[in-house]
Copies of this chain bind each other. A is one copy, B any other.
């Protein structure tokens, strides 16, 4: 049976160092709890599980840790594509400019892009109500579905491809 998991937010805040740097455990001196699994750490782990490609289609992308996850994948040679909302991409706090400067292939969608999904290696779907912002993760009541069920993954693969073809360079 396909792996399916539902994550609910807001997430407790915890340090992500053991996820980003698993080889140097407990070196972090930040005041957050360490070595704790939360909804957000699960989400970051799912994104970091990409080995060949990550396709992201979100309205807002201002969360620093999620940006770090995407840049980490980039360093590992994972192919990244980001589709964002055209208007949102221009505002303060958006990480789209950071991603562009890092050489990501980004595109923006005209008209309101209200999706919040990502596809890992064309195999794992991450979708839900969660915008990729700080507020959403820490404050809002949100949900994220993580699934390998082809009945869900395939329609979203098609939708990403369709939107990518109808988008513009960001």
Q: Which of A112, A114, A115, A152 has the most CB of B within 10 A?
A: A114
Report yes or no: A141 in contact with B129, Cβ–Cβ below 8 A.
no
Contacts of A163 in B (CB 8 A): 141
The A102-150 residues at the B interface (CB cut-off 8 A) are 109, 111-117, 127-131, 135-136, 139-143, 145, 147, 149
A145: contacting residue among B127, B135, B142, CB under 8 A: B127
Task: Write the A149-160 contact mask toward B (1 if CB under 8 angstroms, else 0).
Answer: 101100110010
Q: Which of A117, A131, A155 has the most CB of B within 10 A?
A: A155
Compute how far the CA of A114 lies from the CA of B135 in the bound complex, rounded to whole angstroms: 11
Compute how far the CA of A116 lies from the CA of B141 in the bound complex, rounded to whole angstroms: 10
Contacts of A20 in B (CB 8 A): none
Report yes or no: A114 in contact with B140, Cβ–Cβ below 8 A.
yes
Kindly provide the distance from the CB of A140 to the nearest chain B CB, expressed in whole angstroms: 4
Verify if A6 is at the interface (C-beta below 8 Å from B): yes
A112: contacting residue among B5, B116, B140, CB under 8 A: B140
Report yes or no: A6 in contact with B156, Cβ–Cβ below 8 A.
yes
Contacts of A113 in B (CB 8 A): 140-141
Kindly provide the distance from the CB of A15 to the nearest chain B CB, expressed in whole angstroms: 24
Kindly provide the distance from the CB of A148 to the nearest chain B CB, expressed in whole angstroms: 11
Kindly provide the distance from the CB of A135 to the nearest chain B CB, expressed in whole angstroms: 8
Compute how far the CA of A139 lies from the CA of B114 in the bound complex, rounded to whole angstroms: 10
Chain A residues within 8 Å of B, Cβ to Cβ: 4-6, 8, 109, 111-117, 127-131, 135-136, 139-143, 145, 147, 149, 151-152, 155-156, 159, 163
